[in-house]
Structure 1
């Protein structure tokens, strides 16, 4: 069930000529409500400045629009922080370039309600209260000076400093929770017991907001007064789980043959099958479009992890809109009778198929593939998604010349909630730190990309082939020129840097690796430092060295005696 809210807001200039407060709320529908949530904000422009109202309004309007423009795979706090930092810079630039706006700044208290959780962001002296089970709790701290004569002087505000420091808090939602966001024109005139009484009295958030503002002004308030009240009528499901709740009732379809139909799709051929998955080339009978239908093997019907992986792959794939990835095609829940998803079909083969068919990749070919792969990974990492299984079999080279990254089945993002996909990757392409149980990162993806380029050049692996049951040791990788002397030095240096055992010596970002590949021979990078001899030597190596030294010493004693 989706999140259901009731919202009310009120704002009054009071005895002042101008209302420098600003309130706003955004309550998107359907999928966006589940992924991004509802956002509510109250701002109070700094009094006495000509730009106070402008700062408050543009801050609230900016965060309401820009937050929903951030990728859905970003964590809420990260998205808010990115948006607020940009708004802070914009207000500072306006104050610097317009004399009548000098000193413009604003408080901001906002809350994102999503699924069963809330995220609060706060700076300044506006406030957020929560009424739960009859108990009223203040969730924010006023950023003002402690001295009595300076208690209205802000220490923090949007537009006050180059570095914006925002308080964040997170918590669980419960049905019946009431949140009240208000400026100091309300809370400064009303004791907390009066706020408690008003929020408890009304079932209607609008009536509560109106009464808060009216009573604050009736108590002699000389400031603008604004209140925004929201009641949680029903909590939603966990982020991704909410989107796939309907899909969970779907069963894995039986194995399909050429000519058979599943919903509006007719099977033309089986493109690929593994232990867990099946990929069919299908035709959409409604429009004739050729597509790829991905589902699970019938034997995996009761495997929760595999089902979650397929759902996770579809959900993430919908959010990766770039020509470096197949595009997920919409299929409504009503039209889908089984557990599968559909993506765009592209003629061509994956790189492993090309290797198996005997295709030779020149250094120029591999450099070009590396550039496109780095661009694709950069697009993925900017969405806060780590692929975790980059290898030739998951890279498709289309007849149109485009490289596409396949299979997000084990990809990870903070937004996947409880639907955690399976273990990462293919051992020979896995970064050393993953064998130690560390979490996958963009750098581990870049390591896999480096192994992929190495394998395309040499058909070997920089640290040797690794079997699933092995716990390998990693030292200095074998230089690819040992197998292919024709590889240019600049390309070898890039590949060796990508597959370095120590993450600190690898490329930090896909963009850094892309730049190195694009400038190529014109500005070659230095080869990564070799592991010191002492670091490469294992225990038995030291035993051998000590044994040789001891024998040499005994021979010396024999001769001198």
Structure 2
């Protein structure tokens, strides 16, 4: 049986000499797919002493983080999920504190640890602490956020609810079986000190006993604060998820090249839909007579990197549960390396271009709005498509648009620390933004996806590219985009302005988000954009100044030489 991430935890929270306990702690230990995707989350918070509703601040923050973290998309990186939720909780506390005088100043420290796969992730603000005991050595993993004060105890410089801008410390690292994490409020660590904390964690084998002893020892030792401790023992780790996935997939044979009429795992092949340099797409029919799309690798492209990339593509596609995309179909009978997607009758926009369909301005705007709504859904999951083009935009018979092919898509969620070789080139040159070329190309992001949408809409209207067609391995030079009205004089001025902004050479001149691009299309002629049709000469050719200087210098030298010879 494949081992999984297993951890035991225990906690204790004592009021001590204070009139009420303003500390709060909690943890979530999910199972199955949620454990693999989101991990185990443990949190300790200490309501700011001396302020009203300190307990409420700590409890609401811990409960909010424990629930909302698991509601974030699986494709988000752990730190992004934590940061998004904590920022929202910070705004909520500030809003609550502003409503009544009694709630003014309510805030809380927070220290959280996520154990996922073979790594841990920390989020910390305030003066609660996280320690790790590994190999008998105790290490403090967090830094206290305090101001030194000559007359008072340390004053918090950061807390949730203290300031409109919440600054959280994040850290991560590798897990080892046997690691012990101890989260505690300052009432515990301030009284015990590191040596005593380490001794207790080494002596107690059960995490509940360790947490209880930490809290009681601090209280018995004279702590003047609430005493809260949460202890996590890491018992076992899963295998490296990517390598494990590769191993599993390598045990599955690649299907041979299939032909209509052949059977595979109860699926009947009807047609070959597409063949690229590495992949094959078939239309198949399952045992219930439902049409599906089967995606696999070409038989000659049988290697571990390609299998891993196909597995990652399926992982992303499963998480994009949106009507703007085909859906992954589970198939328990799968005994070969492939995955299934929903089938939709219709044609791609490229196929419509090839049949000489003439896209009018109104139709193009409507398509652009649909593309951007789908792309916005993808970007909210922190996924960049990287290959938006008419080939990957499909209209079904009911007119619904879907974005196809996540084969080269990328997300900010970890791939277990290992890079993949791409199955295909990450993008099609004519749709790639200028910054993606050159000796030091930038990484593709949401904005380069929007550039590709602009090129796509430009092509639908004109059958041309704003900077001309770019061949693979070509190093293009970008001047100003050709105004689309040169090819289609009937394009409205406002739409031309939108397209020129979308495909501008400089990223800062383009749309920043899909929502901004969508709004410009929706407003149309009612609120047209103002976009310069030509950029300044020096901006188009940054070396022009040096060229003019060189020419001027040459002319001046020739003139001086002429004067010398004239003597």
Q: Normalised by the size of structure 2, how large is the TM-score?
A: 0.91
CA pair 480-88 structure 1, distance change in 2 beyond 3 A: same
Question: Cα offset for 1:427?
Answer: 1.1
Unpaired stretches in structure 1, ≥5 consecutive residues: none
Cα drift, residue 529 of structure 1: 4.8
Whole-angstrom distance in 1 between the partners of 2:404 and 2:461: 21
- 2:198 matched to 1:196? yes
Deviations 1:368-395 (A, max 9, x none): 1111111111111121111111111000
2:68 match: secondary structure: helix
CA apart distance, 1:159: 1.5
Q: Would the aligned equivalents of 1:239 and 1:416 in 2 still touch at CA under 8 Å?
A: no
* Deviation of the 1:256 alpha carbon: 1.9
Pairs within 5 Å for 1:314-353: 314-332=314-332, 335-353=333-351
Question: Does the aligned pair in 2 maintain the 1:312–1:421 contact within 8 Å?
Answer: no
Shift of 1:540: 11
Between the aligned partners of 2:65 and 2:518, the Cα distance in structure 1 is 32
Q: Cα–Cα, structure 1 residues 105 and 283, in superposed 2: closer, same or farther, change >3 Å? A: same
- Cα offset, 1:98, TM superposition: 3.4
- The answer to whether the 8 Å contact 1:411/1:421 transfers is no
**SS of 1:136 mapped into structure 2:** strand
CA contact (8 A) 2:69 2:82 kept: yes
2-side partners of 1:87 and 1:154: how far apart?
A: 18
Q: d(CA) in 2 for partners of 1:53 and 1:45?
A: 5
SS in 1 for 2:356: coil
Question: What residue number does 1:420 align with?
Answer: 420
Q: Is 1:249 aligned with 2:251?
A: yes
Mapped partners of 1:67, 1:184: distance in 2: 25
Give the structure 1 partner of residue 296 of structure 2: 295
Say whether 1:374 aligns with 2:378: no
Q: Which residue of 1 aligns with 2:169?
A: 167
Match of 1:405 among 403, 406, 410: 403
> SS of 1:179's equivalent?
strand
SS in 2 for 1:190: helix
**1:279-299 CA distance string (max 9 Å, x none):** 1222232x4432211111111
Conserved 8 A contact 2:75-2:319: yes
Deviations 1:393-418 (A, max 9, x none): 00001112111111111111121422
Q: Distance in 2 between matches of 1:46 and 1:2?
A: 38
Task: Tell whether 2:208 aligns with 1:210.
Answer: no
Deviation at 1:8, TM superposition (A): 1.2
Equivalenced residues, count: 547
Other-structure match for 1:392 = 390
Give me the whole-angstrom Cα distance separating, in 1, the residues matched to 2:42 and 2:446. Answer: 33
1:482 aligns with 2:486: yes
Using the alignment, how far apart are the partners of 1:189 and 1:57 within structure 2? 23
2:44 to 42, 45, 48: 42
Indicate if the aligned counterparts of 2:373 and 2:518 stay in contact, CA closer than 8 A: yes
SS of alignment partner, residue 97 of structure 1: coil
Gaps of 5+ in 2: 563-567
8 Å CA contact 1:41, 1:111 repeated in 2: yes
Residue 35 of structure 1 and its aligned partner are, at CA, apart by 2.1
Contact 2:75 / 2:383 at 8 angstroms: preserved in 1? yes
- Tell whether the 8 Å contact from 1:293 to 1:341 is kept in structure 2 after alignment: yes
Q: Is the counterpart of residue 146 in structure 1 residue 144 in structure 2?
A: no
- How far is 1:537 from its partner? 5.5
